[in-house]
Structure 1
Amino acid sequence: MAARVLIVDDDRLMRQVLGDLLRENGFVVIEAVDGREACERCLRASPDAVILDLVMPVMDGAETCRTLRKQPQFRHLPILMLTSRVDSPGTVNPFTLGADDYLAKPFDAEDLLARLQACIIKKNAQEALETRARDYRALLDISESIADSVETGQILRRIVRKIAGHIADIERCSIAVIQEDGAAGYILASSDDDSLRELRIDLGNYPEIRQVIESGEPLLVTDIESDPLFDRVRHLLIDRDFNAVLVLPVHHQQRVIGVMVLRARRERPALSPSEIEFCQLIADVAAGPLTNARFFSHLRRESAALRQAKSVLEDELRIKAIYEELFDNASDGLVAVNAAGQIEFVNRRALEMVGLTRDELQGALVENLLDRPALRRAIVCWRSGRGEEEGGRVRFDLVMQTRNRGRRCFSVSANREPVLNDLTIVAFRDVTEKRRMEAELRQTHAHLAESNRRLRELDRFRAEFLNTATHELRVPVTIVHGYCALLRDSLGNALNGSQREFLDAAFESSERLVDLVNNMLDLSRFEAGKMRIDMGPNDIVDTVFEVCHDLGSIAEKEGLTLRIDPPPERKALFDRQTIQRVLVNLLSNAIKFTPAGGEVRIRFDRNEHELLVSVEDTGKGIPAEQLPQLFDEFTQVGRDDARRGSGLGLSICRKIVESHGGRIWAESRPGCGSRFTFTLPLA
């Protein structure tokens, strides 16, 4: 690599002459016009030599030379000082300033080149001596560390940290031991991360280490970005902080037992031969500790394997003891049957259920314990897999003769696949009482089903009778009501007080009877599913005004004020005829139960999907305990009130609203009035 020379002179012509001369002889030239700029260039470019003019503005050669020599990195930097012949002799001694040599202007070109080469050679020799001395000191420190410690891990950690601190720009130094099969290795020490210790590395992902193991020679990769050795694993090096790798083998008895790996980040990534030689020397020194580490690591792995095997065996013994305890104390009867049908193990619960001793049951053949029908059923269920459950178990009921409790029914469950030593685990539970109760429940269920069928039949008869009766009553009741109204209107004042009272009572009774018959007819239609609902987009305000037009005179006659608030939304999905019926029922009740001077108001509201219609009054209100049953059939509020109805109106209102997909509810406070609200879907 060409040496770099810094020319410092305020004379442009002199810089040009010197530059041309040096370039012709293979030097790289850097220029500065004064001492201050020269110091800055030295810090940035690190030249191999400086040609310095003595007389310059800003900072002269003497001050520049003294400034450079004060900095440790420039103590061996060759400085050739140029002096003019007209300079006063003896006033400045270049050697006392720290210069390596000086030349007078005008100078001889060959003389300048010879002196410059000599200075560079001298500098390289001094640096090499210092490097060698530093290497020997580091080697001595490492040797003393090995002598001071018997712990191999500590020795190896000292070695890698010493190398990382000794060689410039080392990102990581690590030592790894290689398995005997060469498939993997274990990091024993790393200069920057103690957590990597004992980390297993797959050598398939480290082609540089595998090549050193195979060749037994050091490997220097100066640019991992372009080296084909890393083509297969380059995607694994995305977050790397290095661009050069040095891998050195660690030998023991002519075998590679480990490697030392140095990763460096350098502008010129090649490590010098002296650095490689020093690292190999350290790697050879590390062979002893690495051998011991490999031996101890092998012992540790074997000891760990033995400890693990011992722990596994102890765990298995504990588990076996637990299973035996669980087996013997299980709430179900358990037996273990071998492939020959012989019982090998039996728990206490099984002995209690069959009334036999352990000696009688353990070792006996299953076929000798069952009578022929029970044995035949067991064989058929086992072969057919009857009742097979998830997990490969077969379940069936079996009736057996026990010694102390007679014939009992047992639920038997057995694993289809054998377990240890070809054993089949059979569990059985006494279900005699349970099966008896199940049979009684089935019988009760059958009786209930028959009773339910008969009730549905009777309900159908009741509905048919109610429908027929209401149809038959509707015509004569309507006629009677019409005649009563005709008589009251036509006779007028011709009747005396008693006659008028009797006629009014007959009219009101017939009116309630007509209302009852109509409600019962509507109720029977709903129950029979014959009530027709013609849903469509309609104007709720028009529907409300129609109803209020018919009921307005009644409210006025009772001394009430009927108000309608403007709605936020007029269109909704509903059947006009049935919703009119709901409004008539709610308004009629409000008028009926509101004293004179009160008010009945219709309000509207909406939410995201529904229109809310409310009928409010200022009547006496409804007790809170009656609100939950208010919409049930034949429920009446104020049974002592002479104006009570049939008790079907609100029930029919609920059925109509629910058939529209809506809801209806009531809110009230005694003495403050009531509010009935129902919802309709928005159009």
Structure 2
Amino acid sequence: MTPADLGRPRTPSAAREQITTDSRTERFRARIKMLGSLSCQLSRASDLDELFRAVYSELAGVLELNAFVLGQYDEANQVVHVVRQVHSGTELPGGSFPVGNGLTSEVIRTRQARLIRQWSIDGPRWQVGYATEAEGFAQPESGVTVPVVSDQRVVGVLSVQSYRAHAYDEDDLLLLEATAEQVSGALRNLRRSERLDSQLQRRVTELETILASMADALLIVDASGRIVSLNRAAREVLCIDDSAILFGKPLSHVQWREWPPAARAVADALEPIIEALGRGEALREVEAELRADGRRVLSFSCAPIHDEAGAPFGGVIVFRDTTGKREMELIKNEVLWMASHDLRTPVTAIKGYTQLLERRLTKGQATPELVANFVGVLRGQSDYLVGLLNLLLDYSRLEAGRFELEPKRIDLVALVNDVVASVQAMSEGYRVTLQTPPVIEGDWDAVRLEQVLHNLLTNAAKYSPAHGLIDVRIEADEQSATVRVADQGVGLAKSELGQVFKRFYRVEGTRRLEGTGLGLYICQRIITASGGRIWAESSGPGHGSEFCFTVPRYSRQIEQRCPRGACCWPSPACWEQVSPRLRSRRAQA
């Protein structure tokens, strides 16, 4: 309207046109505002339900809605899944229906929006109906249904309906199409978010599985040292039941009356590690020795977690029990010390007698008797040296799991007689009595069984008084054979009966005698691998000892005890660790 028009009288038709124009302008502005508001709401929607309610609430403010439906289209299965629907202001659950002959199916097939001004005139034959409390059943008279398209594919439908004819026009159709475009973008975002959530959940599940299966204990704390998370291994080390709630408090504040001292000691050892994390420090394999439950060593490593600004806001602590590792290091040192100490004796003797013999020969003072005596000493020391080296070699094979048994049919009585004769020849001054049946046959590794018998007999001679009696007895039945070697030596205290088979163990009062502390340990491993057991008996110190072992007579009896095989090492449960060569030989037998 121009300034000249202000004073000019207006006709009724012009006034009506102006009102109509103003009304359409106002409706247009309201719909633009509605689309802007909807865009904001859809950007915050976290699931389909929120998306549905946002679209419905905005459309209900600008359109007549007796019914509203939002559906997703499953192209692969030709099925429409109704997310939600509203009828007369009441939200109803969705459902599913196959693509057929109705309006929704037509829109999906043609990918074209449909405006139904009056259903009886321009609507399809198939028409949806709704149950109502007042009329029982009602059918819409008009409606608008538009496809939701994404990447050139129909992914859903939007439908608004009214019980009044001519409730919608072309402007409403355009509004629904604009709304469908926004819904399409929101669905893409939701699917992307769902994929990300799924990936994140999968990563979280993988991480939780890794943490739960970790042999090392893991603890996560925040900047104040409060527990955020801990895995099962950490709960076990700290003796914390799965039902115990620790999150949100430091370990130093945990006070349980029945908390074991060992767990409390671990918690105390963790405190300086947590304090280091609070200062942003990273530590690697810091060892702490605990004595609450004996000598125990734990190794701690930690790393701080930083925020985007680089400030520490917590950290991860990984710790493990390294007592076994420390013990293995001590054992290794003991082996080295023992080897250097015990090898020095025969080497020194051999060197000394060789030098002495050389001087006598140079001076012409070497009589046949002297040479024979020196050669005997050298042979004895050489035999001792070879035996010691073999013992160390057997021990290294044991620890590496490379010790194999090769059972063959042998006579145990003949083997015992040979060993007794050999020991008597080397250890004069001892009387050996032998009580055996004529023959005891069985499937045994003759070399290893001879090693056990030789060790038991030489120990009996070593720890017995001069002219002492050594009694050897063999008993057998159809299933097994038992060998007993009794002496009149130093005897064993009750507490030592089980200790003597441990590596490097030496009986109190016998350390002045030569010995490595490995002989009985190796004997025990050989007998165990043979499917038997070995033990010691004694009435106490000064009353002598009796060492006994029992072994199955035939390999099939060992296999019955251990289906995985008779010749496994170091125990019948470790058949998989036996060398391929032995496994193939067993398979061919």
Task: Give the TM-score normalised by the residue count of structure 1.
Answer: 0.31
Of structures 1 and 2, the one with the larger relative CO (CA 8 A, separation 6+) is 2
* Higher percent of residues as helix: 1
Q: What TM-score do you get using the length of structure 2 for normalisation?
A: 0.35
Query: If you compute each CA radius of gyration, which structure gives the higher value, 1 or 2?
Result: 1
